[in-house]
Structure 1
Amino acid sequence: MNNKKRPTIATVAAHAGLSVATVDRVLNARAPVNPQTAEQVVQAAEAVGYFAARLIGQRIRERRPTYRFGILLLATAQAFYAGLAQAISEAAEQHAGANLSCEFEYITDRTPAAIVAQIEHLAVKCDGLAVVSFAHPLINACLAQIRTAGVPVVALLSDIHERADEPYVGQDNHVVGRTMGWLLARTCGARKGSVGILLGGHRFLGHHARVEGLHGYLAEHAPGLKPLEPLINLDNCDITEEATLDLISRHRDLRGLCVVGGGGDGIISALAQLPKRPALCCILQESTELSRQALSRGLVDVVIDSQPGLTATALVALMVELQSAEAFDPARHRVYIPPHIVTSENL
């Protein structure tokens, strides 16, 4: 004889940490319930073996709105963008309020016309877009037209509109730049010397904001550290490697080296070639397997990580919210993710 009791609504409620009334509303569809709560109940019902739990879960999920989102990323910095894409996919799958799917495309041709073509290609088949791009009149005109047509667009990681008059998810890039200045001022072996800067391109507003923040902090708090004219690396590792070796050979007073965008693997490769590591502070962006190894080996000093997991969760939540938002609200629709400082001591 099987004495095992059949799970009841009370069993599910106890497992979920919710009231019996709330669980009853979800399982028997008696009244609308917050999507996160409904998902919590379904997971608890499946965990305790409640009768028809999977069928109930399927019914609840079928009642959710369904959206398809287009995500346009850069083809450079492959390890970082691969990790970000994976994080976005996971966040979309776990979102409790809607059934979501994501289509990813990558920018290989950085001419404005080519980027506009990719944006338009995604816009015709998606309910919302997230775009990593630089600012350009053609691109901004395209995004304005798409938004007017009712497809929300989020600027991801770097603003695309010069006045920041758009939904955004990413770091406050001016703060990132000042943080780099703060780190340089406290970790450089000498308080006087030059600082090398490598950036993806002047048209990326996020990169420009970081350089401005870095200049501002050093001018205010460490005037002996003089930033050199930024070198364009197009977020390319090979270009970064050559530029790094050139900076080290030409500037004997080099005290700091900063990458404000992608291409940091090139600095790691350059420093690994030298018989002796120069006495300078090296700051990279984004925690990847290679950058973490470089930290542990002492090749670089600091990595400023954008926290892709938090970025992805915030992006998906905002893109769903924008489906029903009536107007752009800077207080709600500009989401800043705090930078995370990684050193060899907190890997």
Structure 2
Amino acid sequence: MKTRRPTLKDLAEAAGVGVATVDRVLNERPNVRATMVERVLAAAEDIGYPTKKLDAIKLDAARPVVRLGIVLHKPSQEFYRNFASELEIAVKNRAEVRGRCEIRFSSSQAPSEFAAELVEASKSAEVLATSAINHPTLSQTIRALQDDGKPVFSLLNDAASGVQQSYVGLDNVKVGRIAGWMIATQVREPGKVAVFIGGNRWHGHILRETGLRSYLRDYAPHLQLLDAIVNLETRQVTYEATLDLVDRHPDLRGIYVAGGGMEGAIAALREVRPPGKVALVVNELTNESRKALSDRYVSLAIATPLPDICRYLVSLMIEAARSGPSETSGQHYLTPQLLVPESL
């Protein structure tokens, strides 16, 4: 006589739990205790319940859980949405741990808001990372988190330099010099060059401005760099300021948008200048910058290699979760991607 195959109800009875609990274990629902997984697995072995899937769950349960908390800038910007997606992929692909990644967004550049988001993320995360700006409030918050055993990494912008676990991003002085090289290569006539930065608390943007200035001083003395314009990384401010620049400086030869807001510069130049008349260098490859490259309104896009930086960051965060905060802060630079119209 053929032996009856055990059912889900049989397994629930053998484990001494409800069918709903067994279903949560089998379908890997969140917030199931490891002891409950073991209990159901043991019952499955006792009654001969098909264990192929349960074996995989058991193997997965043996991997340590690592909880990561990441605070980025506002999700209205395509770059940060792409960043978040790549982070989730990088965490998912780590086979040696069960990564849990909570990504939060700060809706503004206000230091208090970034600090609040970091503190909230720290309630469940073992290790943190943020693209926050530089400000004493944030430095104090990051120091307190580090002292509490929660390593904090700075992304793209070296916030809380010397206090945080490490900086992970581009060498921003080098990025600014690359922008200067592109503008000087394209422009031969004397004239003005403008640079947009998100704000004076953006250490990364200030370093990019410094790199741009040093390159032009070294190799393009015929080009005068105007005072940096703060655009708060917004499209509208950049758009209006670009139109004003073109109106006040007929000899405007180049523009470098060191952070967000490039869409405004692109839109303004489309209205008042033919392609290539003003050498425009932007940061990051998005749908907008890709189209502007194709139309030759953008001469160069200096892009953060998101898959690479996310894989590297997640690796560092997992190691930090195991070992705790470092006594010395470090810097980890990745090589930027350089895209010109012919790259597309």
TM-score (norm 1): 0.80
- Contact 2:235 2:263 survives alignment (8 Å): yes
Tell me the amino acid that sits aligned with residue 196 of structure 2.
L
* Equivalent position of 1:340 in the other structure: 337
Q: Distance in 1 between matches of 2:167 and 2:55?
A: 36
- Residue type of the alignment partner of 2:173: H
Q: Residue in 1 aligned with 2:247?
A: 249
Contact kept? 2:146, 2:164, Cα under 8 Å: no
In the alignment, is the contact (CA less than 8 A) between 1:134 and 1:160 conserved in 2?
yes
Aligned partner of 2:268 in structure 1 is 270
Report if aligned partners of 1:129, 1:152 keep a CA contact under 8 Å in 2: yes
Q: Name the counterpart of 1:284.
A: 282
Matched, 1:182 2:150: no
- Deviation, 1:220, is 1.1
How far the C-alpha of 1:141 sits from its partner, in A, is: 0.6
Q: Alignment partner for residue 233 of structure 2, among 235, 243, 246?
A: 235
Aligned to 2:138: 139
Q: 1:164 to 1:259 in 2, by over 3 A?
A: farther
How do 1:104-143 and structure 2 match up within 5 A?
104-143=103-142
Contact map agreement 2:73 2:108 (CA 8 A) in 1: no
Deviation at 1:97, TM superposition (A): 2.1
- 1:336/1:329 CA distance change after superposition, 3 Å: farther
- In structure 2, what is the Cα distance between the partners aligned to 1:88 and 1:229? 36
Q: Is the aligned partner of 1:87 residue 2:77?
A: no
Which segments of 5 or more consecutive residues in structure 2 lack a partner in the other structure?
Answer: 1-49
Query: What amino acid is aligned across from residue 97 of structure 1 in structure 2?
Result: E
Percent of residue pairs identical:
32
Given candidates 315, 318, 321, the residue that maps to 2:316 is 318
Residue matched to 1:3? none
CA distance in 1, matches of 2:199, 2:53: 51
Secondary structure in 1 matching 2:323: coil
- State the match for 1:9 in structure 2: none
Q: Which consecutive unaligned segments of at least 5 residues does structure 1 have?
A: 1-50
Whole-Å separation in 2 of the counterparts to 1:104 and 1:76 = 11
Contact 1:76 1:235 in 2 (8 A): no
Q: Alpha carbons of 1:309 and 1:251: their partners in 2 closer, same or farther (altered >3 Å)?
A: same
CA shift for structure 1 position 237:
0.6
SS in 1 for 2:102: strand
Contact 1:198 1:232 in 2 (8 A): yes
Could you tell me which residue of structure 1 aligns to residue 193 of structure 2? 195
> What is the CA-CA distance between 1:330 and the residue it aligns to?
6.6
1:299 is matched with: 297
- Which of the residues 301, 307, 310 maps onto 1:309? 307
- Cα RMSD of the aligned pairs, angstroms, is 2.0
Q: Tell me if the contact between 2:90 and 2:314 (Cα under 8 Å) persists in the aligned partners.
A: yes
**Mapping 1:165-180, distance limit 5 Å:** 166-180=165-179
Change (3 A) 1:165 1:132: closer
Based on CA coordinates, which of the two structures has the bigger radius of gyration?
2
1:71-130: per-residue Cα shift (whole Å, max 9, x none)?
111116611000000000011001122111211211123332222211111111211111
